Amino acid sequence: MIRVRCVTAVSWWLRRDLCYRFDPIFPQKTKTLPRFHKIHPVWCQYHLFRSICIYHSKMSSASEADEKYNALSPEEKLPYKVVSAIFNNSVAHGIQLLEELDVDVNFVDQLFYKGQTLLMRAAFDSPGMCRALLEKGADVNLAHTESGIFPLLCAAERNTESCKILLEAGADVNQADDEGSTALHAAAHANPSAIPILLEAGAEVDAVESEDIGGRQPLHYAAQHSPEACKFLLDGGADVNAPLDSEEAETAILIAASKAPQCCQVLIDAGADVNVQFNSTGCSPLHEVTDEDDDPSVCQALLQAGADMEIKDHTGKTALHHAARYNEAVCKILLDAGAKHDCTDEDGNVPMTLAAVGDNVKSIQHLLDKGASLEITNKSGDSPLNAAARMNSAKAIEFLIDKGADILSRNRHGWTPLHKAATRHPDSVKALLAKGADVEAKTTDGMTPVFNAASGSAASLKLLIEAGASVNARSQDGSTPLFISAEGNSEGTKLLIEAGCQLDAQNEDGRTALHVAACNSADSCKLLLDAGARLDIASKKGTLPQHSAAAGGNAKSLQYLLDKGAAVDAVDKVGFTALHNSVLKDEECVRILLLAGADGALKTEIGLSAYGLCMQMNPDVEILATLLGQGKYKPLGDSKRTEEQEGAGPSSSEGAKPT
């Protein structure tokens, strides 16, 4: 069996399809990507060494090809011997096969390289076989049956010698495939050495691909990776400021700045407009060379060419904003060139804030050297220190405080840096505590940092407790940190209980943390019950924890409460039982209550039984069936009840009667 392997470079259609999917110069494919989308083209790194494989339908799978090949007659197998000779660059053997076998030199492979002609394969792999096929009369311009790809495009991708041979044989240098790609596009991207040959043969340097794949000219390809290719094309008359024929309409300098900064100088020397902007983001070339890995010399070159440092992107940021966060060397260059350090983006952030967010201590120092303020705030009232705490920039926190930043700076909601950090960043909490942050500082709602930590970060909560923070602090509405952790942070609940917090503290509505946990977190509910939280404390509306569990549809919490002795038929101030609440929410809660002996006939102040309320407000079939069956109804596939539960409770004949 002939085994034909994929070439080491990915075929043009695979490369282009991958390019279309991942290449950031296609706006419709990258709107969700971060600004610094330095995605190196997949096809530049993608080398396949395996038996018969290719992209989707373009090549058959190995097993499929084997099966089909074995089904061929001896005569039908003959062309594939030539295919093998081409792939192995066995020119003498290939010529011998062409001489001895009656093989159609324009044979189209339908097994291994679907739709490719022998000449296309030879253009990729074997200049010698390319010449031999042409001498035997192969059609030099015969294209791929599905994509329109043709021999010269294949050769231009990586085989300069094949390009020469095909052009000498009369190949159309401006032939395009179904997407408008010419050989010059392929050479500009993958094989710069072929560019002069194609240009000398009359290739159109400004040929434009289809808008569907980006509307690129060859220079746009070259600008992604090769200064040499850029120079060849510019010397050949390429328009350095030609935009893509697409919605984004980037020019080569934008592409180079975002993907291959080493190409920028060649484009600048050719007169590229250095203040052009991306349509989608508003970023200029200067914005695009501020990433952490970018060479500062490219920024210098752009500035020397007249780049405007105060151009803002669509979020109101200048290049200095980005450089302050990501690249301290570029930040210094921009500041030394006169960039404004107090310019604000649409959220009111100055470069100092971005430097703090990026934990970039060197940028902070550069900004301080130019007179930037440590206390300037954004529209939310956050100072750079607040911003650093929010983003867990521990080094920046220490540096800013050492430079005089106010450790008690508050935003418009009264949050200090410690509040910001406590939510999820124990490292920053540790740094702030080491600098003397006030653990009892209150927000405008009266919450201390412990409240923030209780909402999510057990590690931060532990640090604050160890630092002496009160676990019984009250917010304006009378809630304690336990109320916050009871919403879903069971680890925080455990820490607060162990620290001796008040289990039964009531807020201004009369609710306890158990009310909150019963509704939201079965784990916290169990922890509170096991710690001795009272079941009989009602809110000002008469609501008990079991009412809250039923109203929240929290079957586990409800079961825990009943197991601890919660009254199944307790009513609130309007006559609602837990069963009334559950019929509006959850069938499993209804079942648990009925099996626990809940009276479905009890009525509210306005005369509604649980059944009547369900019919009026939430006529759910499963809930109704469970009510009528006194909890014994079991939906198809429901395995929640055990055999023992199914045998418990009153019979269905004693069920609730419709009101």
Judge whether residue 214 has pLDDT over 70: yes
Q: Is 146 inside any structural domain?
A: no
The pLDDT assigned to 62 comes to 61
The pLDDT assigned to 419 comes to 98
**What average pLDDT does the chain have?**
86
Cα 433 to Cα 645: distance, rounded to the nearest angstrom: 53
Cα 64 to Cα 78: distance, rounded to the nearest angstrom: 19
Closest CA to 420 of 403, 367, 404, 396: 396
The pLDDT assigned to 128 comes to 96
Task: Give the lowest-confidence range in 112-116, 198-202, 227-231.
Answer: 112-116
| Distances in whole angstroms, Cα of residue 463 to Cα of each of 177, 351, 425, 439, 452 | 65, 31, 11, 10, 13
Judge whether residue 181 has pLDDT over 90: yes
Q: For residues 199 and 229, is the Cβ–Cβ distance under 8 A?
A: no
Q: Is 398 inside any structural domain?
A: no
First to last CA, the chain: 81
Phi, psi of 411 (to 5 degrees): -85, -170
Please count the CA atoms within 13 angstroms of the CA of 44 that sit on its side-chain side. 15
Task: Give the lowest-confidence range in 249-253, 410-414, 514-518.
Answer: 249-253
The pLDDT assigned to 42 comes to 25
pLDDT classification of 6: cutoffs 50, 70, 90: very low
Q: Quick one: average pLDDT of 646-654?
A: 34
Judge whether residue 651 has pLDDT over 50: no
One-letter amino acid at 44 equals C
Q: Quick one: average pLDDT of 12-23?
A: 35
Q: Is 318 inside any structural domain?
A: yes
SS3 531: coil
Q: Is 311 inside any structural domain?
A: yes
The 10s digit of each residue's pLDDT in 400-416 is 999 999 999 999 999 99
Task: Give the lowest-confidence range in 311-315, 466-470, 624-628.
Answer: 624-628
Alpha helices, DSSP H only, in 60-117? 62-70, 74-87, 91-100
Q: Quick one: average pLDDT of 491-498?
A: 98
Helix, strand, coil % over all residues of the chain, rounded to 5: 50, 0, 50
The pLDDT assigned to 542 comes to 98
Judge whether residue 650 has pLDDT over 50: no
Q: Quick one: average pLDDT of 376-388?
A: 98
Q: Is 348 inside any structural domain?
A: yes
In the numeric block, which tokens belong to residue 446? 């009266």
The pLDDT assigned to 473 comes to 98
Cα 87 to Cα 115: distance, rounded to the nearest angstrom: 16
In the numeric block, which tokens belong to residue 329? 């060397």
Cα 20 to Cα 29: distance, rounded to the nearest angstrom: 8
Closest CA to 412 of 354, 352, 348: 348
Closest CA to 286 of 260, 314, 256, 309: 309
pLDDT classification of 569: cutoffs 50, 70, 90: very high
The pLDDT assigned to 54 comes to 31
The share of the chain scoring above pLDDT 70, in percent, equals: 86
Range among 261-270, 620-629, 641-650 with highest mean pLDDT value: 261-270
Judge whether residue 262 has pLDDT over 70: yes
CATH of the domain at 345: 1.25.40.20
Judge whether residue 277 has pLDDT over 70: yes
Q: Is 54 inside any structural domain?
A: no
pLDDT classification of 16: cutoffs 50, 70, 90: very low
The pLDDT assigned to 163 comes to 97
The pLDDT assigned to 117 comes to 92
Q: Quick one: average pLDDT of 394-401?
A: 98
Task: Give the lowest-confidence range in 6-15, 71-80, 101-110, 371-380.
Answer: 6-15
Range of the domain at 282: 274-358
Q: Quick one: average pLDDT of 73-77?
A: 88
In the numeric block, which tokens belong to residue 231? 């120079």
The pLDDT assigned to 177 comes to 93
The pLDDT assigned to 630 comes to 65
The pLDDT assigned to 297 comes to 95
CA Rg value for the chain: 36
pLDDT classification of 111: cutoffs 50, 70, 90: confident
Residue 434: CB atoms within 10 A of its CB come to 12
Cα 111 to Cα 18: distance, rounded to the nearest angstrom: 23
The 10s digit of each residue's pLDDT in 313-338 is 999 999 999 999 999 999 999 999 99
Q: Quick one: average pLDDT of 70-83?
A: 89
How many domains in the chain? 1
The 10s digit of each residue's pLDDT in 225-243 is 999 999 999 999 999 999 9
Q: Is 107 inside any structural domain?
A: no
The pLDDT assigned to 525 comes to 98
Q: Is 659 inside any structural domain?
A: no
Q: For residues 93 and 125, is the Cβ–Cβ distance under 8 A?
A: no
Q: Quick one: average pLDDT of 569-588?
A: 94
